Amino acid sequence: MSDESVPLPRVFESALDMLPVGVAIFDAAQRAVLINPAYCASLDLPPGSLQRGRKLGDMLLPSAIRGVFGPGDPEAQVAAALAVDRSRPGRIRRRHFGGRSFDLLSHPLPDGGHVVCAVEVTGFLAAQTEAEAAISRMSAALAGLRIGLATLGPDRILMLHNPRFSELFGLPPDRVRRGMSFTDLLAMMRGREEYASHDGEAFLAAQRDLDRAHPNRMRRVRANGQVVEIASDPSPEGGWTMTVIDISPLAMVEDEALRRARMLESLLASLPQGVCLYGPDRRVRMLNRAYLDVMAGAPLAIGETLEEVIRRRAAAGEYGPGRADEVFGQQMAFDISRPQIRRRRRPNGTVIDVRTAPMPDGGHVSVVSDITPLTQAEDELARRAAEMDVMLRSIRHGVLLWGPDRRLVASNRMASELLMHPPGLLVSGRPMTEIVADMLMRGQFGRGPEAEVRARDLQQRDWSQPYLREFATPAGLHIEARSDPTPDGGFITTLTDVTEARRSERELRRAKNAAEAASRAKSRFLAVMSHELRTPLNSVIGFSDALRRGADPQRVGEFAAAINEAGRHLLGMIDVILDVARLESGRLDLVEGTVDLRHLVGDVLRQAQAAGAASGIRLVAVLGDDLPPVRADEIRLAKVLGQLLSNAVKFTQPGGTVTVRGWLDGGEPALEVTDTGIGIHEADVPLVFEPFSQLDDSLTRRFQGAGLGLHLARAVVESHGGRLSLNSRVGEGTRVEIRLPAERVVQSAERATKMPEQEQA
């Protein structure tokens, strides 16, 4: 180029303006020939701010002053830039305070000028920094792993490994390096003493010939006793990853488990009893030789299900005569989740004792013993006992004679009848533990944990001391059992049926209680009625006498209203007494319909508002949105709720609160009335439900009432199939809860049980 700037074609200039790369062309005198906008941006200048013909130094100085070249003397920075040899290609990196970085590529031109390209590398540098940090983090993580890890490429060259990899292969960490081939790695192992054995050579050969395109795992025991597992997994690019894990603790556990399993097999093989183990899936897992010997003729195989075994044996008559499907159902009905003891005679004549017990994993074990000699001895004892039974048959008491070993020596038929034992249970020689276990299984001690406690107490009792108890059988008999020790260390038990005697005693006691209750009810009725009827009658008589004497005409209406109120009060009491009479005669009929409990509570609460306001008591309703309509007698249910509110208001001091709650609990509609009143003693709660009863029976009672409200309320709720309960504490208040059965809900739906949180005054 000449000293004068030569104009460039317009098309070329337009193309340079569109480039995202900064381009500046200078002539031999370092004057600008062309500068595109991207180059201005690299100097943190607006487009067009650098004119053609301007010297390079003059262009760079303003940007250097603004800090584009970073900290330092701006003039020195410009001088350094001008001192660069432009006759040779060059590259420098420039960073300015804005956080941006540019690579400046300088290339000489044939006429002595040069061209400069400014390429922004800010993002590249950030990515490079992050990648270096990630590599650093990954290296630190690999170094801290307790697992040996190595990655090899498709060319079988080691790309990555951690120190644990070298350690678990018994190699010096400084000799295993990145870039070595897998063949060199195997050669290094072959040179170690640890791989000098036949096992070591076989391991190295297997590693050399292994198909790395498929996952593989192998285990190796090192010379120091350490057990490692080497895994090889292919990578997508054709290489593979190797992991080496120290599994010595796991191997020790496996060896111990194997040792115990072999010990258990040896123990089972030496047992004379047959043992068969079923898994949680009810399939045969294990059985010993003795089981096959005891159950000869009833084959069994590993893997068979319990259903298959029982069905086959039922068809073969193993469990006795009967239809195979019925016998199968009976055998499957046994609860194998609890220990069971059974005895049966097999079709070949042998007698076996079968005991089953649940296992912790959900399976169960069955132990069978051939007790044919024992049953033969028992049969002989039974023959002798039969001779003794001839003498005992005429006795109307059950008699059981026990030996010092707590085995039954003799018993009579009456003992079996009174205890409802099946034939063959009370035989000579039978231990008490078996008899009590059979009674427990048949429910003669009741059901649940309490039955097991009764059975255990009976077996653990000290029979060297006289013992007397009375119990009821499932058939309703009352048995008096008396046990007395015998000189040989055993004891004799005598059973007496006292059912009739106890029934007579109960009838006499019931008649006595009924007479006393009737007398008390009569006295309460006379006391209550003489007071409750006298008060309104006094009002009627008093006001009517005033009217007869010619009362003030202005007060006639007032007296008439008082007479009317007293008459209605008497009528209400008579209605209550009639309801009690209907209840006693069983004629309390319900007029059922659909009742909206929310509206019912609202109506009753509004009727009670006046009494509450007069007494200075706040009435609150807390009703859940899920409270459903029910099928009930609305009038009687309203009376019940009204009575509960009346009682709550009556027994709550001014300033207190009475709250009505309603919610759905487990599908059952529930209503609750609570107050902050005077409360009652817990021992007096049952008394409040007796008719004509109040806790204060004097004629000068503080609180008025006939004592029938709660009695009728409970009767009405129970006639709906529901429950009414009362809880109270003195000085804290009372809570009365009504629960109706779920079947009375008109629109059944699944609702979560909750207590409502919003209040409606």
Name the DSSP letter for residue 760.
Answer: B
Interior CA angle at 96 toward 33 and 26, to 5°?
10
Mean pLDDT of 106-115: 90
Confidence grade of residue 753 (pLDDT, cut at 50, 70, 90): very low
Give the DSSP letter string of 169-211. Answer: TT--TTT--TT-BHHHHHHHHHTSGGG-SHHHHHHHHHHHH--
Sole residue written with tokens 């079996």: 416
Q: In sequence order, what are the beta bridge partners of 479?
A: 471, 497
Model pLDDT for residues 458-484, shown as the tens digit of each residue: 888 888 889 888 888 888 888 888 999
- Distance, CA of 645 to chain centre: 40
Mean pLDDT of 444-453: 83
Cα gap 285→292, rounded to integer Å: 14
- Give residue 356's identity as a one-letter amino acid code: T
pLDDT averaged over the chain? 82
Helix (H, G, I), strand (E, B), or coil: what is residue 473?
coil
Helix (H, G, I), strand (E, B), or coil: what is residue 11?
helix
Torsion-angle region of 44 (φ positive above 0: left; ψ -120 to 50: alpha; else: beta): left
Reported as type and span, the H/E element at residue 496 is: strand 491-497
pLDDT at residue 423, as a whole number = 78
Helix (H, G, I), strand (E, B), or coil: what is residue 358?
strand
Name the DSSP letter for residue 6.
Answer: P
Model pLDDT for residues 325-335, shown as the tens digit of each residue: 999 999 999 88
Model pLDDT for residues 143-184, shown as the tens digit of each residue: 667 889 999 999 999 998 888 898 888 898 888 988 999 999
Instruction: Tell me whether domains 271-370 and 589-744 share a fold.
Output: no
Tell which wins on pLDDT, 340 or 557. 340
Strands 657-665 and 618-623: parallel
Model pLDDT for residues 545-560, shown as the tens digit of each residue: 777 777 677 777 777 7
> What are the residue ranges spanned by the domains of the chain?
10-120, 128-251, 271-370, 375-497, 589-744
Pair of tokens at residue 731: 């000085």
Structural class in CATH, domain 10-120: alpha beta
CATH superfamily of the domain spanning 271-370? PAS domain (3.30.450.20)
Interior CA angle at 48 toward 47 and 53, to 5°?
140
Mean pLDDT of 552-578: 71
Cα gap 81→89, rounded to integer Å: 14
**Is the model's pLDDT at 413 over the cut of 90?**
no
pLDDT at residue 591, as a whole number = 82
Confidence grade of residue 134 (pLDDT, cut at 50, 70, 90): low
What is the CATH architecture of 375-497?
2-Layer Sandwich (3.30)
Confidence grade of residue 422 (pLDDT, cut at 50, 70, 90): confident
Lowest mean pLDDT among 280-284, 341-345, 393-397, 710-714: 393-397
The proportion of the chain whose per-residue pLDDT surpasses 90, expressed as a percent, equals 26
Confidence grade of residue 673 (pLDDT, cut at 50, 70, 90): very high
Model pLDDT for residues 254-271, shown as the tens digit of each residue: 888 888 878 877 878 888
Answer yes or no: are the C-beta atoms of 740 and 668 closer than 8 Å: yes
Reported as type and span, the H/E element at residue 620 is: strand 618-623
**Is the model's pLDDT at 96 over the cut of 70?**
no
Helix (H, G, I), strand (E, B), or coil: what is residue 606?
helix
**Is the model's pLDDT at 486 over the cut of 80?**
yes
Q: Which residue, 423, 452, 439, 449, is CA-closest to 481?
A: 439
State residue 23 phi and psi, 5-degree precision: -130, 130
CATH of range 589-744; options 1.10.10.60, 3.30.565.10, 3.40.47.10, 3.50.50.60: 3.30.565.10
Cα gap 48→25, rounded to integer Å: 14
Cα gap 37→16, rounded to integer Å: 9
**Sheet containing strand 240-246, strands side by side:** 158-161, 148-152, 240-246, 227-234, 216-221
Model pLDDT for residues 606-649, shown as the tens digit of each residue: 988 888 888 899 999 999 888 999 999 898 898 889 888 988 89
Reported as type and span, the H/E element at residue 636 is: helix 634-650
Cα gap 294→731, rounded to integer Å: 74
pTM above 0.85, yes or no: no
CATH of range 128-251; options 3.30.450.20, 1.10.600.10, 3.40.1410.10, 3.30.365.10: 3.30.450.20
Q: In sequence order, what are the beta bridge partners of 151?
A: 160, 241
Cα gap 38→547, rounded to integer Å: 118
Answer yes or no: are the C-beta atoms of 464 and 480 closer than 8 Å: no
Strands 274-278 and 364-370: antiparallel
Helix (H, G, I), strand (E, B), or coil: what is residue 93?
strand
Pair of tokens at residue 680: 């009652």
Most confident of 39-43, 535-539, 574-578, 664-668: 664-668
Helix (H, G, I), strand (E, B), or coil: what is residue 105?
strand
Which residues have CB under 8 Å from 490's CB, separation 6+? 401, 402, 403, 404, 406, 409, 463
Question: In terms of C-beta density within 10 A (0-12 exposed, 13-18 middle, 19 or more buried), how is residue 604 classed?
Answer: buried
Strands 158-161 and 284-287: unpaired
CA distances (Å), origin 218, targets 107, 214, 221, 596, 709: 61, 13, 10, 75, 85
Pair of tokens at residue 165: 């990899």
Helix (H, G, I), strand (E, B), or coil: what is residue 235?
coil
Give the DSSP letter string of 568-596. Answer: HHHHHHHHHHHHHHHHHTT------EEE-
